[in-house]
Amino acid sequence: MSALEPGADRAHSSWLVGVLTSPILLTGGYAWGLTAAPVAALGLRQLATAGPTLRGVLGVIGSGAALVALGMGVVLERRRSPLAPLVGIWGFLAALVLSWLSTPVLLDITRMDTTRGLLGAGGFALYALAWGVPDVLRRLVPEDDPRADTSAPLEARARLPWTARWVTALGVITAIVLTALAWRLRDISRSLLGQALAALLAVLVVSASAEIAVGRRGTELPPAPTRLRRASSVLLLLGLMLALGGALRWFIP
């Protein structure tokens, strides 16, 4: 029995990692955070200040139920249950509609944040695509396939240099700093756009650092003047963006 325990633990860990890294969970959580989290926050604020109201309670219940339906849908999908789309799609959307209808002030077209609306629509589009991906492509644990080759893994042909870890770590730290700076914005009309741009830049920085870390192995870099000349257009664009940001910061109230 003890010989089976490591395999069982490994299978359980793989299943849990598959749930937590599921594209359905990631895209659904993104859409929920943009469209349902503000409703829950507003409802909790009303409950704390003005006492329990029907709309506040329904908003909190709807947002919470949507989050529960999202998690249950992912778990059922990993178990290949036919109820997964019913819970993960229809239950998730029904709970979201309940939370939105309970807070009509957020549905007022004259007060709606355009950036938040576009990002939320994009999040739901990604959520729909995540449900539409075939199961073969969505499966993150190939060992679950009965036809999988479970023999000893192949040895790597080469190993990355130790500097690759530092380059990747620098990219991750830079991405974290960009995200933290975006959360320091106080202007509500610009904060969401700033966070979206920071998220985009963070993804680009991490991707670039990983590409640089992998590309450093076995390659000869061109001379410094050549590299500087190739990067001149990008550096010029970066300088213009910094100058424009400084002008907007100091000359526009």
Mean pLDDT by 10 residues, the chain (253 residues): 49 65 86 84 77 77 90 86 88 88 66 73 86 59 58 70 82 86 74 76 82 67 74 78 72 58
Contact 74, 22 (CB under 8 A): yes
Would you state the structure tokens that stand for residue 210, as one six-digit string?
């990983």
| Separation CA 161–CA 212 (nearest Å) | 12
User: Which of 21, 17, 26, 19 has the alpha carbon at shortest distance from 199?
Assistant: 26
CA dist 31 to 67, 119, 168, 199, 200, Å? 11, 8, 28, 15, 16
Secondary structure class of 64 (helix, strand, coil): helix
| Separation CA 107–CA 105 (nearest Å) | 5
pLDDT for residue 2 = 44
- CB neighbour class for 203 (10 Å; exposed up to 12, middle 13-18, buried from 19): exposed
SS (H, E, C) 76-129: HHHCCCCCHHHHHHHHHHHHHHHHHHCCHHHHCCCCCCHHHHHHHHHHHHHHHH
pTM of the shown model: 0.52
| Separation CA 243–CA 159 (nearest Å) | 42
pLDDT for residue 136 = 47
User: Which of 148, 141, 138 has the alpha carbon at shortest distance from 13?
Assistant: 141
Contact 143, 150 (CB under 8 A): yes
CA dist 194 to 38, 112, 155, 184, Å? 18, 17, 44, 10
pLDDT for residue 4 = 45
Would you state the structure tokens that stand for residue 240, as one six-digit string?
């213009």
